[in-house]
Amino acid sequence: MSETNIALESVIELQRQYRFQFEPAQESFVLLYPEGLIKLPGSAGEIMKRVDGKTSVQGIVENLQQAFPGADLRQDVLEFLEVAYGRGWIKIK
Amino acid sequence: MEEAGSRSSSIKPPLWVNAEITYRCPLHCLFCYNPVDYAHSGAELTTEEWLRALRQARELGAIQLGISGGEPLLRDDVEMMVAEAHKLGYFTTLLTSGVGLTEKRISAFRDGGLDAIQLSFQDSTREMNDFLSSTKTFELKSKVAKLIKQYDYPMVLNVVLHRLNIDHVARILEMAEAMGAEQVELANTQYYSWAMVNRDQLLPSREQLQRAEAATNAFRERVGNKIKVYFVVPDYYATRPKACMNGWGSVFLNIAADGMALPCHEARMLPGLTFPNVRDHDVRWIWHESPGFNAYRGDSWMQEPCRSCPEKAKDFGGCRCQAFMLTGDATNADPVCDLSQNHHLITEVVDKAQNPGKPVTVHPIVFRDDKNSRKLGEKKGAPVPTTAAVDS
Protein backbone atom coordinates (compact mmCIF):
# COMPACT_ATOMS: atom_id res chain seq x y z
CA MET A 1 0.00 0.00 0.00
CA SER A 2 1.18 3.54 0.62
CA GLU A 3 4.57 4.15 2.20
CA THR A 4 4.80 4.74 5.90
CA ASN A 5 6.67 7.60 7.49
CA ILE A 6 5.80 7.30 11.15
CA ALA A 7 7.62 4.68 13.24
CA LEU A 8 7.24 3.84 16.93
CA GLU A 9 10.51 5.59 17.73
CA SER A 10 9.56 8.76 15.81
CA VAL A 11 9.22 11.98 17.79
CA ILE A 12 6.65 14.24 16.20
CA GLU A 13 5.41 17.75 16.66
CA LEU A 14 2.76 20.02 15.16
CA GLN A 15 3.67 22.03 12.11
CA ARG A 16 4.05 25.55 13.34
CA GLN A 17 1.08 27.03 11.50
CA TYR A 18 -1.26 24.75 13.45
CA ARG A 19 -2.61 25.17 16.95
CA PHE A 20 -4.37 22.45 18.90
CA GLN A 21 -6.90 23.10 21.64
CA PHE A 22 -10.15 21.95 23.21
CA GLU A 23 -13.29 23.86 22.23
CA PRO A 24 -16.14 23.57 24.71
CA ALA A 25 -18.72 24.94 22.24
CA GLN A 26 -17.76 22.20 19.78
CA GLU A 27 -17.33 19.62 22.52
CA SER A 28 -14.24 18.56 20.67
CA PHE A 29 -10.51 19.06 20.26
CA VAL A 30 -9.74 21.16 17.20
CA LEU A 31 -6.75 21.90 15.04
CA LEU A 32 -6.62 25.55 14.04
CA TYR A 33 -4.69 27.09 11.15
CA PRO A 34 -5.00 30.28 9.10
CA GLU A 35 -8.62 30.47 7.98
CA GLY A 36 -9.47 26.94 8.90
CA LEU A 37 -10.41 24.46 11.56
CA ILE A 38 -10.35 20.69 11.75
CA LYS A 39 -12.42 18.95 14.40
CA LEU A 40 -10.62 16.06 16.04
CA PRO A 41 -13.25 14.27 18.10
CA GLY A 42 -12.71 11.15 20.16
CA SER A 43 -9.50 9.20 19.79
CA ALA A 44 -8.03 11.57 17.19
CA GLY A 45 -8.10 14.37 19.75
CA GLU A 46 -6.72 12.15 22.49
CA ILE A 47 -3.79 11.15 20.29
CA MET A 48 -3.05 14.70 19.14
CA LYS A 49 -3.19 15.93 22.73
CA ARG A 50 -0.11 13.82 23.41
CA VAL A 51 1.89 15.14 20.46
CA ASP A 52 4.34 17.45 22.17
CA GLY A 53 7.60 17.29 20.25
CA LYS A 54 9.17 15.28 23.10
CA THR A 55 7.30 12.01 23.48
CA SER A 56 7.96 9.23 20.97
CA VAL A 57 5.08 7.48 19.24
CA GLN A 58 5.74 4.50 21.49
CA GLY A 59 5.43 6.84 24.47
CA ILE A 60 2.14 8.19 23.14
CA VAL A 61 0.80 4.64 22.80
CA GLU A 62 1.82 3.76 26.36
CA ASN A 63 0.37 6.96 27.72
CA LEU A 64 -2.94 6.28 25.95
CA GLN A 65 -3.05 2.72 27.22
CA GLN A 66 -2.73 3.99 30.74
CA ALA A 67 -5.61 6.40 30.19
CA PHE A 68 -7.75 3.88 28.31
CA PRO A 69 -6.71 0.44 29.57
CA GLY A 70 -7.70 -2.72 27.78
CA ALA A 71 -7.39 -1.93 24.10
CA ASP A 72 -4.33 -2.35 21.91
CA LEU A 73 -4.06 1.13 20.45
CA ARG A 74 -0.75 0.89 18.66
CA GLN A 75 -2.25 0.36 15.20
CA ASP A 76 -4.83 3.14 15.66
CA VAL A 77 -2.16 5.61 16.72
CA LEU A 78 0.15 4.78 13.84
CA GLU A 79 -2.68 4.99 11.32
CA PHE A 80 -3.96 8.32 12.60
CA LEU A 81 -0.50 9.88 12.73
CA GLU A 82 0.19 8.67 9.21
CA VAL A 83 -2.91 10.50 8.02
CA ALA A 84 -1.95 13.59 10.04
CA TYR A 85 1.51 13.49 8.48
CA GLY A 86 0.10 13.09 4.98
CA ARG A 87 -2.08 16.15 5.49
CA GLY A 88 0.83 18.22 6.69
CA TRP A 89 -0.43 18.72 10.26
CA ILE A 90 2.65 17.22 11.93
CA LYS A 91 6.32 16.79 11.21
CA ILE A 92 8.94 14.33 12.40
CA LYS A 93 11.62 15.89 14.57
CA MET B 1 -38.18 21.93 10.53
CA GLU B 2 -38.09 23.68 13.87
CA GLU B 3 -40.81 25.91 15.27
CA ALA B 4 -39.84 29.55 15.65
CA GLY B 5 -39.91 29.27 19.44
CA SER B 6 -37.31 26.55 19.56
CA ARG B 7 -35.18 27.95 16.82
CA SER B 8 -32.48 29.18 19.14
CA SER B 9 -31.53 25.65 20.20
CA SER B 10 -30.96 24.54 16.60
CA ILE B 11 -28.58 27.39 15.85
CA LYS B 12 -24.95 26.38 16.00
CA PRO B 13 -22.39 28.83 17.37
CA PRO B 14 -20.39 31.02 15.00
CA LEU B 15 -16.90 29.75 14.22
CA TRP B 16 -15.45 32.77 12.49
CA VAL B 17 -15.46 36.43 13.44
CA ASN B 18 -14.27 38.95 10.91
CA ALA B 19 -13.56 42.28 12.57
CA GLU B 20 -13.41 45.03 9.94
CA ILE B 21 -11.95 47.43 12.46
CA THR B 22 -11.74 50.37 10.09
CA TYR B 23 -12.86 51.26 6.57
CA ARG B 24 -9.95 53.64 6.23
CA CYS B 25 -7.34 52.38 3.78
CA PRO B 26 -4.27 53.78 2.07
CA LEU B 27 -4.96 51.55 -0.93
CA HIS B 28 -7.67 52.15 -3.49
CA CYS B 29 -8.21 48.70 -4.98
CA LEU B 30 -10.81 48.62 -7.70
CA PHE B 31 -12.14 45.24 -6.48
CA CYS B 32 -12.48 46.09 -2.77
CA TYR B 33 -15.41 44.35 -1.03
CA ASN B 34 -16.00 47.15 1.47
CA PRO B 35 -19.32 48.91 0.89
CA VAL B 36 -19.14 51.45 -1.93
CA ASP B 37 -20.70 54.02 0.41
CA TYR B 38 -18.27 53.32 3.28
CA ALA B 39 -17.56 57.06 3.43
CA HIS B 40 -21.09 57.50 4.79
CA SER B 41 -20.71 54.90 7.52
CA GLY B 42 -20.81 55.89 11.20
CA ALA B 43 -18.04 56.35 13.75
CA GLU B 44 -15.67 53.43 14.35
CA LEU B 45 -16.05 51.34 17.48
CA THR B 46 -13.75 52.27 20.32
CA THR B 47 -11.11 49.88 21.64
CA GLU B 48 -13.29 48.96 24.61
CA GLU B 49 -16.29 48.30 22.37
CA TRP B 50 -14.19 45.99 20.19
CA LEU B 51 -12.81 44.10 23.17
CA ARG B 52 -16.31 43.62 24.57
CA ALA B 53 -17.62 42.29 21.26
CA LEU B 54 -14.67 39.91 20.93
CA ARG B 55 -15.25 38.60 24.45
CA GLN B 56 -18.95 38.05 23.79
CA ALA B 57 -18.34 36.29 20.48
CA ARG B 58 -15.74 34.03 22.06
CA GLU B 59 -18.15 33.13 24.87
CA LEU B 60 -20.61 32.14 22.19
CA GLY B 61 -18.04 29.74 20.71
CA ALA B 62 -16.29 31.69 17.93
CA ILE B 63 -12.73 30.41 17.36
CA GLN B 64 -11.23 32.07 14.32
CA LEU B 65 -10.70 35.81 14.39
CA GLY B 66 -9.73 37.86 11.36
CA ILE B 67 -8.65 41.42 12.05
CA SER B 68 -9.19 43.23 8.78
CA GLY B 69 -10.45 46.46 7.30
CA GLY B 70 -9.84 48.69 5.36
CA GLU B 71 -6.26 48.60 6.54
CA PRO B 72 -6.43 47.51 10.18
CA LEU B 73 -2.98 48.89 10.94
CA LEU B 74 -4.32 52.42 10.58
CA ARG B 75 -5.62 51.89 14.11
CA ASP B 76 -3.05 51.98 16.88
CA ASP B 77 -4.95 49.60 19.19
CA VAL B 78 -4.53 46.43 17.10
CA GLU B 79 -1.88 45.30 19.60
CA MET B 80 -4.45 45.43 22.40
CA MET B 81 -7.00 43.50 20.37
CA VAL B 82 -4.42 40.85 19.46
CA ALA B 83 -3.36 40.37 23.06
CA GLU B 84 -6.94 40.14 24.32
CA ALA B 85 -7.90 37.76 21.51
CA HIS B 86 -5.00 35.52 22.39
CA LYS B 87 -5.99 35.47 26.06
CA LEU B 88 -9.52 34.55 25.03
CA GLY B 89 -8.24 31.60 22.98
CA TYR B 90 -8.94 32.83 19.45
CA PHE B 91 -6.77 31.84 16.53
CA THR B 92 -6.06 35.33 15.25
CA THR B 93 -5.05 36.32 11.74
CA LEU B 94 -4.16 39.86 10.75
CA LEU B 95 -5.28 40.66 7.20
CA THR B 96 -3.17 43.51 5.96
CA SER B 97 -1.89 45.29 2.88
CA GLY B 98 1.40 45.55 4.75
CA VAL B 99 1.23 49.32 4.89
CA GLY B 100 2.14 50.27 8.45
CA LEU B 101 3.56 46.88 9.48
CA THR B 102 6.77 48.08 11.09
CA GLU B 103 9.22 45.90 12.97
CA LYS B 104 8.07 47.47 16.24
CA ARG B 105 4.48 46.48 15.57
CA ILE B 106 5.18 42.97 14.33
CA SER B 107 7.30 42.41 17.42
CA ALA B 108 4.40 43.53 19.63
CA PHE B 109 2.03 41.24 17.72
CA ARG B 110 4.42 38.37 18.26
CA ASP B 111 4.53 39.08 22.00
CA GLY B 112 0.76 39.46 22.13
CA GLY B 113 0.12 36.10 20.49
CA LEU B 114 -0.94 36.87 16.93
CA ASP B 115 -1.14 33.54 15.11
CA ALA B 116 -0.86 34.40 11.42
CA ILE B 117 -0.53 37.24 8.97
CA GLN B 118 -2.25 37.40 5.62
CA LEU B 119 -0.52 39.79 3.28
CA SER B 120 -2.29 41.00 0.18
CA PHE B 121 -0.55 41.55 -3.10
CA GLN B 122 -2.27 42.90 -6.17
CA ASP B 123 0.11 41.32 -8.68
CA SER B 124 3.63 39.99 -9.16
CA THR B 125 5.07 43.10 -10.72
CA ARG B 126 5.50 46.53 -9.27
CA GLU B 127 3.74 48.15 -12.22
CA MET B 128 0.56 46.10 -11.94
CA ASN B 129 0.50 45.99 -8.13
CA ASP B 130 0.79 49.73 -7.97
CA PHE B 131 -1.69 50.33 -10.76
CA LEU B 132 -4.33 47.99 -9.33
CA SER B 133 -4.08 49.43 -5.84
CA SER B 134 -3.63 52.95 -7.17
CA THR B 135 -0.60 53.40 -4.90
CA LYS B 136 3.14 52.80 -4.82
CA THR B 137 3.26 49.87 -2.43
CA PHE B 138 4.95 46.93 -4.16
CA GLU B 139 8.41 47.41 -2.68
CA LEU B 140 7.00 48.12 0.74
CA LYS B 141 4.99 44.89 0.58
CA SER B 142 8.08 42.93 -0.42
CA LYS B 143 9.90 44.34 2.61
CA VAL B 144 6.99 43.43 4.85
CA ALA B 145 7.00 39.88 3.50
CA LYS B 146 10.64 39.58 4.59
CA LEU B 147 9.75 40.94 8.02
CA ILE B 148 6.97 38.38 8.40
CA LYS B 149 9.41 35.57 7.70
CA GLN B 150 12.05 37.11 9.94
CA TYR B 151 9.57 36.89 12.80
CA ASP B 152 8.88 33.29 11.84
CA TYR B 153 5.22 33.83 11.10
CA PRO B 154 3.23 31.52 8.90
CA MET B 155 2.52 33.69 5.90
CA VAL B 156 -0.62 33.60 3.86
CA LEU B 157 -0.36 35.48 0.61
CA ASN B 158 -3.63 36.68 -0.80
CA VAL B 159 -3.94 37.82 -4.38
CA VAL B 160 -7.29 38.81 -5.82
CA LEU B 161 -7.43 37.60 -9.41
CA HIS B 162 -9.23 39.24 -12.30
CA ARG B 163 -8.92 40.00 -16.00
CA LEU B 164 -6.00 42.39 -15.55
CA ASN B 165 -3.68 40.09 -13.57
CA ILE B 166 -4.93 36.51 -14.02
CA ASP B 167 -2.47 35.87 -16.85
CA HIS B 168 0.35 36.36 -14.33
CA VAL B 169 -0.61 33.47 -12.05
CA ALA B 170 2.56 31.46 -12.73
CA ARG B 171 4.71 34.47 -11.81
CA ILE B 172 2.58 35.28 -8.78
CA LEU B 173 3.09 31.74 -7.49
CA GLU B 174 6.84 31.94 -8.09
CA MET B 175 6.89 35.16 -6.11
CA ALA B 176 4.99 33.49 -3.26
CA GLU B 177 7.48 30.62 -3.22
CA ALA B 178 10.44 32.99 -3.21
CA MET B 179 8.90 34.87 -0.27
CA GLY B 180 8.46 31.66 1.71
CA ALA B 181 4.66 31.73 1.92
CA GLU B 182 3.03 28.69 3.53
CA GLN B 183 -0.34 29.35 1.98
CA VAL B 184 -1.46 31.19 -1.14
CA GLU B 185 -4.98 32.26 -1.84
CA LEU B 186 -5.66 33.01 -5.46
CA ALA B 187 -9.09 34.43 -4.96
CA ASN B 188 -10.91 35.29 -8.12
CA THR B 189 -12.88 38.47 -7.72
CA GLN B 190 -16.40 38.07 -6.45
CA TYR B 191 -18.64 40.70 -7.93
CA TYR B 192 -19.84 42.83 -5.05
CA SER B 193 -19.28 46.43 -4.02
CA TRP B 194 -16.37 48.05 -5.88
CA ALA B 195 -15.81 44.93 -7.96
CA MET B 196 -19.44 45.14 -9.13
CA VAL B 197 -18.91 48.77 -10.16
CA ASN B 198 -15.85 47.66 -12.15
CA ARG B 199 -17.19 44.27 -13.28
CA ASP B 200 -16.66 44.75 -17.01
CA GLN B 201 -12.99 45.52 -16.46
CA LEU B 202 -12.47 42.66 -14.02
CA LEU B 203 -14.28 39.55 -15.27
CA PRO B 204 -11.74 37.29 -17.02
CA SER B 205 -12.48 35.27 -20.13
CA ARG B 206 -13.01 31.51 -19.88
CA GLU B 207 -9.73 30.95 -21.65
CA GLN B 208 -7.84 33.12 -19.16
CA LEU B 209 -9.41 31.21 -16.32
CA GLN B 210 -8.49 27.81 -17.76
CA ARG B 211 -4.89 28.89 -18.33
CA ALA B 212 -4.65 30.16 -14.76
CA GLU B 213 -6.02 26.91 -13.35
CA ALA B 214 -3.55 24.90 -15.43
CA ALA B 215 -0.66 27.06 -14.18
CA THR B 216 -1.87 26.61 -10.60
CA ASN B 217 -2.09 22.84 -10.95
CA ALA B 218 1.39 22.66 -12.48
CA PHE B 219 2.73 24.63 -9.52
CA ARG B 220 0.92 22.39 -7.04
CA GLU B 221 2.46 19.32 -8.63
CA ARG B 222 5.92 20.80 -8.38
CA VAL B 223 5.84 22.02 -4.76
CA GLY B 224 3.58 19.32 -3.30
CA ASN B 225 2.73 19.74 0.36
CA LYS B 226 5.14 22.60 0.94
CA ILE B 227 2.79 25.39 -0.08
CA LYS B 228 -0.97 25.13 0.13
CA VAL B 229 -2.56 26.86 -2.85
CA TYR B 230 -6.23 27.72 -2.89
CA PHE B 231 -7.75 28.70 -6.21
CA VAL B 232 -11.17 30.24 -5.74
CA VAL B 233 -13.04 30.16 -9.04
CA PRO B 234 -15.25 33.09 -10.00
CA ASP B 235 -18.79 31.92 -9.48
CA TYR B 236 -19.92 33.55 -12.74
CA TYR B 237 -18.32 30.57 -14.49
CA ALA B 238 -20.17 28.00 -12.41
CA THR B 239 -23.57 26.44 -13.06
CA ARG B 240 -24.37 25.91 -9.40
CA PRO B 241 -24.12 28.67 -6.81
CA LYS B 242 -21.54 28.77 -4.05
CA ALA B 243 -22.67 27.74 -0.58
CA CYS B 244 -22.30 31.37 0.42
CA MET B 245 -20.89 31.74 3.97
CA ASN B 246 -21.77 28.05 4.42
CA GLY B 247 -25.32 29.27 4.94
CA TRP B 248 -26.74 32.50 6.32
CA GLY B 249 -25.98 32.92 10.03
CA SER B 250 -24.32 29.52 10.07
CA VAL B 251 -20.63 30.02 10.88
CA PHE B 252 -19.67 33.57 9.95
CA LEU B 253 -20.07 36.80 11.91
CA ASN B 254 -18.86 40.01 10.34
CA ILE B 255 -18.52 43.07 12.53
CA ALA B 256 -18.12 46.24 10.52
CA ALA B 257 -16.07 49.28 11.49
CA ASP B 258 -19.15 51.07 12.79
CA GLY B 259 -20.19 48.06 14.88
CA MET B 260 -22.87 46.69 12.63
CA ALA B 261 -23.06 42.90 12.91
CA LEU B 262 -23.63 41.16 9.58
CA PRO B 263 -23.92 37.57 8.35
CA CYS B 264 -21.47 38.41 5.52
CA HIS B 265 -19.34 41.30 4.30
CA GLU B 266 -22.01 42.51 1.95
CA ALA B 267 -25.37 41.99 3.67
CA ARG B 268 -25.66 45.69 4.52
CA MET B 269 -26.93 46.25 0.97
CA LEU B 270 -30.05 44.11 1.42
CA PRO B 271 -33.24 46.18 1.66
CA GLY B 272 -35.86 45.60 4.32
CA LEU B 273 -33.46 44.07 6.84
CA THR B 274 -32.16 45.77 9.94
CA PHE B 275 -28.86 44.58 11.28
CA PRO B 276 -27.98 45.04 14.92
CA ASN B 277 -25.00 46.95 16.24
CA VAL B 278 -22.65 45.48 18.83
CA ARG B 279 -22.83 48.83 20.64
CA ASP B 280 -26.48 48.21 21.43
CA HIS B 281 -26.80 44.45 21.66
CA ASP B 282 -25.05 41.45 23.12
CA VAL B 283 -23.47 39.23 20.47
CA ARG B 284 -25.45 36.25 21.80
CA TRP B 285 -28.74 38.06 21.12
CA ILE B 286 -27.45 39.22 17.75
CA TRP B 287 -26.52 35.70 16.67
CA HIS B 288 -29.48 33.82 18.07
CA GLU B 289 -32.37 36.24 18.22
CA SER B 290 -31.92 39.22 15.91
CA PRO B 291 -34.28 39.29 12.92
CA GLY B 292 -31.39 40.12 10.58
CA PHE B 293 -29.46 36.95 11.42
CA ASN B 294 -32.58 34.80 11.26
CA ALA B 295 -33.87 36.23 7.98
CA TYR B 296 -32.46 33.53 5.71
CA ARG B 297 -31.73 30.69 8.10
CA GLY B 298 -33.38 27.40 7.22
CA ASP B 299 -35.28 27.19 3.94
CA SER B 300 -38.77 28.57 4.59
CA TRP B 301 -37.83 31.85 2.82
CA MET B 302 -36.96 30.07 -0.43
CA GLN B 303 -38.82 30.34 -3.71
CA GLU B 304 -38.79 27.87 -6.58
CA PRO B 305 -36.65 26.40 -8.01
CA CYS B 306 -34.74 26.29 -4.69
CA ARG B 307 -37.65 25.29 -2.48
CA SER B 308 -38.08 21.84 -4.04
CA CYS B 309 -34.47 21.41 -5.13
CA PRO B 310 -32.58 18.42 -3.72
CA GLU B 311 -29.40 20.51 -3.64
CA LYS B 312 -30.79 23.21 -1.35
CA ALA B 313 -29.16 21.66 1.70
CA LYS B 314 -25.81 21.80 -0.08
CA ASP B 315 -25.74 25.34 -1.49
CA PHE B 316 -28.58 27.08 0.42
CA GLY B 317 -29.73 28.67 -2.84
CA GLY B 318 -26.42 30.52 -3.18
CA CYS B 319 -25.82 34.11 -2.22
CA ARG B 320 -28.66 36.39 -1.03
CA CYS B 321 -26.73 39.53 -1.92
CA GLN B 322 -26.02 38.33 -5.46
CA ALA B 323 -29.67 37.35 -5.90
CA PHE B 324 -30.70 40.82 -4.75
CA MET B 325 -28.12 42.73 -6.79
CA LEU B 326 -28.94 40.96 -10.03
CA THR B 327 -32.67 40.21 -9.72
CA GLY B 328 -33.89 42.77 -7.20
CA ASP B 329 -35.20 40.07 -4.84
CA ALA B 330 -32.94 38.49 -2.22
CA THR B 331 -35.21 35.42 -1.90
CA ASN B 332 -34.68 34.41 -5.53
CA ALA B 333 -32.23 31.68 -6.47
CA ASP B 334 -28.72 32.99 -6.98
CA PRO B 335 -28.70 33.54 -10.78
CA VAL B 336 -25.38 31.70 -11.01
CA CYS B 337 -27.52 28.54 -10.86
CA ASP B 338 -28.49 27.39 -14.33
CA LEU B 339 -31.83 26.25 -12.94
CA SER B 340 -32.64 29.89 -12.15
CA GLN B 341 -34.90 31.66 -14.61
CA ASN B 342 -32.53 34.61 -14.21
CA HIS B 343 -29.40 32.69 -15.20
CA HIS B 344 -29.18 34.72 -18.42
CA LEU B 345 -28.17 37.71 -16.27
CA ILE B 346 -24.92 35.86 -15.64
CA THR B 347 -24.37 34.34 -19.07
CA GLU B 348 -24.85 37.68 -20.81
CA VAL B 349 -22.07 39.21 -18.74
CA VAL B 350 -19.87 36.16 -19.24
CA ASP B 351 -20.42 36.23 -23.02
CA LYS B 352 -19.32 39.84 -23.14
CA ALA B 353 -16.08 38.94 -21.36
CA GLN B 354 -14.93 36.43 -23.97
CA ASN B 355 -12.79 38.68 -26.13
CA PRO B 356 -9.43 38.20 -24.46
CA GLY B 357 -7.10 41.05 -23.79
CA LYS B 358 -8.70 44.43 -23.58
CA PRO B 359 -11.41 45.45 -21.14
CA VAL B 360 -14.78 45.19 -22.81
CA THR B 361 -16.07 48.68 -22.23
CA VAL B 362 -14.67 52.17 -22.16
CA HIS B 363 -16.43 52.96 -18.87
CA PRO B 364 -13.54 54.18 -16.70
CA ILE B 365 -12.24 52.23 -13.72
CA VAL B 366 -13.58 53.49 -10.40
CA PHE B 367 -10.90 53.29 -7.72
CA ARG B 368 -11.99 52.81 -4.12
CA ASP B 369 -11.41 56.18 -2.47
CA ASP B 370 -13.33 58.58 -0.29
CA LYS B 371 -14.36 60.85 -3.16
CA ASN B 372 -15.81 58.03 -5.24
CA SER B 373 -17.42 56.51 -2.15
CA ARG B 374 -19.25 59.72 -1.30
CA LYS B 375 -20.42 59.97 -4.90
CA LEU B 376 -21.61 56.36 -5.03
CA GLY B 377 -23.30 56.77 -1.66
CA GLU B 378 -25.29 59.75 -2.91
CA LYS B 379 -26.21 57.94 -6.09
CA LYS B 380 -27.87 55.25 -4.05
CA GLY B 381 -30.42 57.91 -3.09
CA ALA B 382 -32.39 57.06 0.00
CA PRO B 383 -30.17 56.30 2.98
CA VAL B 384 -29.38 52.63 3.37
CA PRO B 385 -31.83 51.41 6.03
CA THR B 386 -29.19 49.30 7.71
CA THR B 387 -27.14 52.27 8.89
CA ALA B 388 -29.97 53.42 11.15
CA ALA B 389 -28.63 51.93 14.36
CA VAL B 390 -25.25 53.64 14.18
CA ASP B 391 -25.97 56.79 16.13
CA SER B 392 -28.37 55.38 18.67
Query: Which of B115, B182, B228 is the closest to A19 by Cβ?
Result: B115
B389 pLDDT exceeds 50? no
List, for residues B75-117, the tens digit of each pLDDT value: 999 999 999 999 999 999 999 999 999 999 999 999 999 999 9
Interface test with B, best of A32, A38, A82, A90 (most B CBs within 10 A): A32
| pLDDT tens track for B302-322 | 999 999 999 999 999 999 999
CB-CB under 8 Å, B63 with A23: yes
Residues of A in contact with B118 (CB under 8 A): 34-35
What's the pLDDT at B43? 94
Q: Give ipTM to 2 decimals.
A: 0.88
Q: What is the mean pLDDT of residues A71-85?
A: 91
pLDDT score at B390: 30
Report the pLDDT value the prediction gives residue B391, as an integer from 0 to 100: 30
Test B61 with A26 for CB contact under 8 angstroms. yes
pTM of the model as a whole: 0.89
Strands B155-161 and B116-121, by their bridges, are: parallel
Nearest CA in chain B to A23: B61
pLDDT over 90 at B360, yes or no: no
With beta carbons less than 8 A apart as the criterion, state whether B186 and B124 touch: no
Closest Cα in chain A, distance from residue B153 (Å): 8
Nearest to B63 among A16, A17, A37 (CB): A37
Instruction: Residue B350: name the closest of B244, B191, B158 by CA.
Output: B191
Residue B78 backbone phi and psi in degrees, to 5:
-60, -35
Q: Report H helices in B164-205.
A: 169-179, 193-197, 199-202
- For residues B23 and B34, the answer to whether their CB atoms sit within 8 Å is yes
Per-residue three-class SS string for B348-359: HHHHHCCCCCCC
Helix (H, G, I), strand (E, B) or coil at A63: helix
% chain B with pLDDT above 70: 92
- Cβ neighbours of B115 in A, within 8 Å: 19, 32, 34
pLDDT band at B132 (very low <50, low <70, confident <90, very high): confident
Q: Does position B72 have pLDDT exceeding 60, yes or no?
A: yes
Q: If DSSP states are collapsed to H, E and C, what string results for B196-265?
A: HHCHHHHCCCHHHHHHHHHHHHHHHHHHHHHCEEEEECCHHHCCCCCCHHHCCCCCEEEECCCCEEECCC
Closest chain B CA to residue A88: B225
Q: Does B373 have pLDDT greater than 60? A: yes
What is the pLDDT averaged over residues B16-41? 92
Chain B residues whose beta carbon lies within 8 Å of the beta carbon of residue A16: 152, 154
pLDDT band at A58 (very low <50, low <70, confident <90, very high): very high
Contact assignment for B115 to A34 by CB distance below 8 Å: yes
Asked if B225's CB is within 8 angstroms of A88's CB, the reply is yes
Mean pLDDT, range B337-363, rounded to an integer: 84
pLDDT greater than 90 at residue B129: no
Nearest CA in chain A to B252: A35
Determine, for residues A33 and B91 on separate chains, whether the beta-carbon distance falls below 8 Å: yes
Which among B292, B295, B294 has a CA at the least distance from the CA of B274? Answer: B292
pLDDT of residue B112: 97
Nearest CB to B63 within list A16, A32, A34: A32
Chain B residue numbers with beta carbons less than 8 Å from the beta carbon of A88 are 225, 228
pLDDT of residue B185: 95
Q: Do A17 and B116 touch (CB under 8 A)?
A: yes
Q: Give the phi and the psi of residue B262 in degrees, each rounded to 5.
A: -135, 150
B-chain CB neighbours of A21 within 8 Å are 89
Residue ranges of chain B whose CB lies within 8 Å of a chain A CB? 13, 15, 60-61, 63-64, 66, 89, 91, 93, 115-116, 118, 152, 154, 156, 182-183, 225, 228
Name the minimum distance, in Å, from the CA of A68 to any CA of chain B. Answer: 28
Return the higher-pLDDT residue of B107 and B382: B107
pLDDT of residue B4: 42
pLDDT tier, B266 (very low <50, low <70, confident <90, very high otherwise): very high
Higher-pLDDT residue of B369 and B292 is B292
| Beta strands at B116-121 and A36-40: parallel, antiparallel or unpaired | unpaired
Q: What's the pLDDT band for B379 if we cut at 50, 70, 90?
A: low
pLDDT of residue B387 exceeding 50, the answer is: no
Point out the least confidently predicted range of A66-80, B44-58, B126-140, B245-259.
B126-140
Answer yes or no: is pLDDT of B1 > 50: no
Distance from CA of A19 to the nearest CA of B (A): 8
Assess whether pLDDT exceeds 80 at residue B291: yes
CB-nearest to B15 from A19, A21, A37 is A37
pLDDT at B191 over 80: yes
